[in-house]
Chains A and B, each alone.
Chain A
Amino acid sequence: MKSLFTIVKFTVKEYIKKKSFIVVNAIMVLIIIAICNVPNIINAFGSDEEDQKLKVQIVDNENVLNASSELFNQIGLDYDIEYFNDKPLDDVKKAISDEEIDIAISLKKVDNTVAFDYIVKKNDVFSDNETTADIFSNIIKNVNTNRLLLEQNATPELIQAVNIPITYEIQGLEETDGNQNFMIAMVSSFILFFAVYFYGYSVSTSVSSEKTSRVMENLVTSTSPTKIVIGKTIAMGLVGLGQLVGLILVAVLSYKIFIPSDFDFISKILSGLSINISDVLICLIYFILGYTVYAFLSAVTGATVSKAEDVQSASAPISLIAVISFYLAYFTSTMPNSSASKFASIFPFSSAFSMPGRILAGAVTGGEVVTSIIVLIVTAVVLAIISIKVYSAATLHYGDRLKIKDLFKLYKQK
């Protein structure tokens, strides 16, 4: 037990001291902080635009509305509006050409109703002229309504009541939780795939580097191969878990510090979900078991090669299993109640990617969770036994990369 702890401690220490680990984490932290600052960046640009409100001149030479600049600016708050009764239209057009103003509106009477020409420098498919014109149509309609009410001697209270915006609430008749849960399932699938596969692969590189530097012979004569494999698996799992928790903490802190309170995109996503401690624990169990399965497979891979550059090609079969399992989980997350999705949640190589998302989506029964965890545990134990046996024989093999049939031979010899 003491030597197991020694291996775990040494492996963790060696790994977190690596420059690549430090650099990758620093980059991840910077990316998280940068993402959390996107709304601030948008707002920063947005506020610049606010400072430069669109300049609009309304020309009412026919005196259709008999209004004032003040009245327009009270209603059209987002624009800098000037109202004229006696300005030649050519002057206004020149102001637009010279980019002194952005929009000109020329009011006129058509069939005894108010109409206007909306004049801008360019009217192409990329402009939002129609939207802005619609907004001005409403502003002008409001000003006109106020004018008509005043003409009819309406009380200021009535005019105020007419101008109160009508509030509304959108109600969807069909449940929308599915979409939110689908996103959560996809995100959790992706995070778990990344964590499980990446740290499993790290076990492989850790074992192969000990073979490459020929430390292995010293190591297997100093302690048992069982302790080495289990110690390395635990160590990389702890590093992975620590990194994951650390990055999640950075994300939560950055979210709290940098995301403005009015930017509620994430809270909107999370509002339909009730994530409790037991869900988090189950996700943790799936991470640990899923990782264990891939880590043991990777330990064997690391032991079969003699050169660091061979690790990637030796890991190809595991990568294939992992990627297929991930896509199986990913695509079935859109239909959490399908039989393909149920299979993905039980199949030991994909259940860690599939099940947490389905649990968060509330699409599984307790029985399914228990069955899936039991299958994962049994697979992990069987793989541990096989990998320790093959590892202890393969670690002392140098030369060409061992093929699967060679591994079977070694397994029998041990």
Chain B
Amino acid sequence: MGLKVENVHKSYSGKEVVNGISFELDKPGVFGLLGSNGAGKTTTIRMILGILNKDSGIITWNGKEVKRENVNFGYLPEERGIYPKTKLFDQLMYFATLKGMKQDEAKKAIEYWCKKLEIYDYIDKPAEQLSKGNQQKVQLIIAIIHNPELLILDEPFSGLDPINTQIIKGIIEELIEKGTYIILSSHQMGVVEEYCRDILILKNGKTVVKGNLSEIKKSYGKSNLLLESYDDLSSIIPDDVELIEKKVNSYEIKIKNEEMAQDILKQIVAKGIKLNKFEIKEPSLHQIFIDKVGEA
């Protein structure tokens, strides 16, 4: 049961923007829909929501065709949009009623979520007087106010400060606990790694990676070596090695095998360099994404 997307195609003016995409959300949790800009994520989301017709393929929710009447869904679009001149309460009430909620029920939900997201003080203010981050929270409330079974979050963290990011992460955790099916589209790989059980990476409308995130990472093997030290490490990094990431006090490099890591360790010991961290690890999602999609 849940959401099933099978071999979906969509073209614009002869150009295929979604090419045979298939995936399944068979249990509650977060599914990561990833891809570079223009890869076909938003088109896929719009087809799932039924606001854009697909050329071919099947999209079902609990075995039924996805339609507004069949699915209780919520959507946080990538482009933020609220009525600038309308009071916060009025527009939340408008969307809640449009989504079929009764006035009393909507009023309680508005109060609950506004307090939870720390914007209750602005309830009687026009939206244009709110900060960008707070406007984003309003959008999130619009998406979740009616307790959707299926929630699509398109870049929910863009433009948020760390405190607000933390608040929204808390909301996502609450929704996961409630048993919501969530599709998360984001370029923040750290967050995707944190919450997504399964992922799908799109490139030019085609699926390049799909499946359980841990298994995808395992399939790459422990191919990365992370070294952390306050001493200078540059002399022991081989010239022909692929550099994954370089920070002030650390290097992450791609290794061919474990023996290569052991050789580097021996050199470090020989040179008397004091290490803070030596870790042979799986590649990060960020690295997998760059590998598969190309230049970031």
Contact = CB atoms under 8 A, between A and B. Distances in A.
Contact of B77 (A218, A223, A393): A218
B80 A214 contact: yes
B81 A396 contact: no
Contacts of B97: 2-3, 6
Contacts of B80: 214
Given A6-B94, A224-B68, A396-B46, A218 B53 contact: no
B68 A218 contact: no
Contacts of B167: none
Contact of A396 (B51, B68, B73, B83): B51
A217 B81 contact: yes
Nearest to B82: A215
Interface in A363-414: 392-393, 396, 398, 409, 413-414
B79 interface: yes
Contacts of B75: 217-218, 221
Nearest to A17: B85
B234 interface: no
B147 interface: no
B99 interface: yes
Interface of A, secondary structure class, is: helix
Contacts of A222: 95, 98-99, 142
Interface in B40-96: 46, 49, 51-53, 68, 73, 75, 77, 79-86, 90, 94-95
A409 B84 CA distance: 32
Given A213-B81, A218-B81, A3 B100 contact: yes
A320 to B, nearest CB: 29
B53 A414 contact: yes
Interface string A187-221: 00000000000000000000000100111111111
A7 B98 contact: yes
Contacts of A392: 51
B136 interface: no
Contacts of B77: 214, 217-218, 221
A2 B97 CA distance: 8
B13 interface: yes
Query: Which of B52, B94, B139: most chain A Cβ within 10 A?
Result: B94
A409 B13 contact: yes
Given A217-B77, A221-B73, A10 B94 contact: yes
Contacts of B73: 221
Contacts of A221: 49, 51, 73, 75, 77
B95 A213 contact: no
Contacts of A210: 81, 83
Given A213-B84, A216-B81, A392-B51, 15 more contacts: A2-B97, A3-B97, A6-B94, A14-B85, A14-B86, A210-B83, A213-B83, A214-B77, A217-B75, A218-B81, A218-B139, A219-B98, A221-B73, A221-B77, A222-B99
